Amino acid sequence: MADLLSFSLLSFSSILIVVNPLAATLIFVSLTGTMDQAAKLKVAHDASQFALVILLIFTVAGGWILQLFGISIEAFRIAGGLLLFGIGMDMVYAKTSRTKMTATEKYEGQDADEIAVMPLAIPMIAGPGAITSVIVLMNEAMGMSVAAIAVVPLAAVAAIGITYAMMQRSDVIVRRIGQREYRAVNRLMGMLLIAIAVQFILVGIRTAFPILTGGAA
């Protein structure tokens, strides 16, 4: 039970931090500034729905996709940890991660008809970091229990649900959160994400090279 609780907390926290509902909401505000309320709500709904579908697909089939390309879960765990580490560093230094959204994507997204899909859903909400997290967490859950397996998709649903709720109330949130408060929260979340990333890397190295930790080769 204690292991399941720890895994649940890790799953919810890591996916929520990587999705970063606050950052997604601020980008949503900048992309929909010229739209009326009905159009904004439609973009929020479509973006959340599409992002959730992407995360659930990789939650269920991520391991099979890795096998298809001949990638071991250990290699993906280490690479994903490095990716999350980079995102966390960008958050600590109050930057928009390059794996989330580039200036070009933001500019092009403002003129596109489907900004809900690109760049809001991908790569802002369901970006490489979130995809990495659900694949690695699901692989870990497979060695635990059925309850642990159910935790990962539930964590993805919860993270997207929080993001959707915040985008729906974006006008209120933007009025109440200034840039200083946003940077403070972002840096704290970045530190947590860096710690999670280091843990991913350590577990990947320990599994791939057991001899380094005194295990059998």
CA 137 remoteness from chain centre:
12
Taking the C-alpha atoms of residue 135 and residue 83, their distance in angstroms, rounded to an integer, is 14
For residue 75, the one-letter residue type is: A
Q: What confidence score (pLDDT) does residue 27 get?
A: 77
* Averaged pLDDT, groups of 10, the chain, 217 residues long: 88 92 83 83 94 95 87 80 81 64 47 68 83 91 93 97 95 78 76 81 82 59
The domain limits of the chain are 2-213
As given in the structure block, the two tokens for residue 14 are: 């890591």
pLDDT tens for 56-111 read 999 999 888 888 888 887 887 788 788 778 877 887 886 655 555 554 454 444 44
Q: What confidence score (pLDDT) does residue 113 get?
A: 45
